[in-house]
Structure 1
Amino acid sequence: MMSSPENAILICRVCDDSNGQPHYGTICCPSCKGFFRRVYMSEKKFECYRGNMCVIQKGTRNICRACRYKKCLQVGMNVKDIRGKYTSPSTDCEVSSSAESTPKSSKDTEMGVAEAMEMAQVYMNLEKYCENNYCESNMCREEENQLIDRMLGSNVLDLIQKTSPQCPRFKREWKPLEILNFENFCRSWSRSIVHFLDFATRFPVFNQLSPTDKVPIYTSLKSQT
Structure 2
Amino acid sequence: MLGTPEGVKVVDHPLVQHKLTVMRDVETSTRGFRQLLREIAGLLTYEATRDLELTDVHIRTPVAEMNAKKLAGKKLVFASILRAGNGLLEGMLDLVPSARVAHIGLYRDPETLQPVEYYFKAPDDLSERVVIVVDPMLATANSAVAAITKMKERGAKDIRFVCLLAAPEGIKHFREMHPDVQVVTAAIDDHLNDHGYIVPGLGDAGDRMYGTK
* TM-score of Structure 1 vs Structure 2, range by shorter chain: under 0.3
With normalisation by structure 1, the TM-score equals: 0.23
TM-score, length basis structure 2: 0.24
- Quick check: which has more Rg, 1 or 2? 1
- Larger RCO (alpha carbons 8 Å, 6+ apart): 2
Query: In proportion to residue count, which structure has more strand?
Result: 2
